Amino acid sequence: MMRCIFRLFARSAPTFSEARPPDAASIAALHKASFQRGWGEDEVYRLLVDNTVVAHRSMSGHTMTGFILSRMAAGEAEILSIAVAPRQRGRRLARPLLDLHLRRLAGLGARAVFLEVDEHNAPARALYRRAGFYDVGKRKSYYQSGASALVLRRDLG
């Protein structure tokens, strides 16, 4: 009985690790569930085999629950996308995923990380603010909805 309970919890506890090309289909599915313009599996695969791209995932057992991808260039990184599965949101999965990712980017030599976020995306803005990102710019009416994009920066190291 105790062993069954232990296994149940062990299976559902989130784990965080590097994402690899075989994860392309799961990442594409999560991306489609999270954004209006979803990425196709081929598009994600091309990113995952690109050696300037850094990718991490959160897993619950064999199920992917979240991902984050960045591109590195000239000592800086840009977060291309981060998403958590809709049913898993609000459980603080994104925080450890982002922390791991930022540590890896710093380890690879990135001195600063940039990203764009919809000004109305409250969960994402809260996530980034808590992780130490600050505003460095605004692109007015950047999204199809008419919303502006905030450009955020986080210094590393």
List contacts with ligand COA (CB under 6 A).
Answer: 34, 82-84, 89-95, 117, 121-124, 126-127, 130
Select 94 or 156, whichever has its Cβ closest to ligand COA.
94
> Nearest-CA neighbor of 65 among 45, 82, 47, 43?
82
For the record, the structure tokens of 11 come out as: 């299976």
Residue type, 81: S
Select 72 or 82, whichever has its Cβ closest to ligand COA.
82
Select 7 or 92, whichever has its Cβ closest to ligand COA.
92
Q: Closest distance between ligand COA and the C-beta of residue 81, in Å?
A: 7
Select 47 or 94, whichever has its Cβ closest to ligand COA.
94
Which ranges of the chain would DSSP assign to H, the alpha helix?
A: 2-12, 24-34, 41-48, 94-107, 122-130
Q: Closest distance between ligand COA and the C-beta of residue 83, in Å?
A: 4
Q: Closest distance between ligand COA and the C-beta of residue 11, in Å?
A: 19
Give one word for 113, left, alpha or beta, with left for phi > 0 and alpha for psi -120 to 50: beta
Residue type, 146: G
Q: Closest distance between ligand COA and the C-beta of residue 94, in Å?
A: 3
CA dist 118 and 120 (Å) reads 5
Select 126 or 136, whichever has its Cβ closest to ligand COA.
126
> Nearest-CA neighbor of 96 among 150, 71, 60, 134?
60
Q: Closest distance between ligand COA and the C-beta of residue 72, in Å?
A: 18
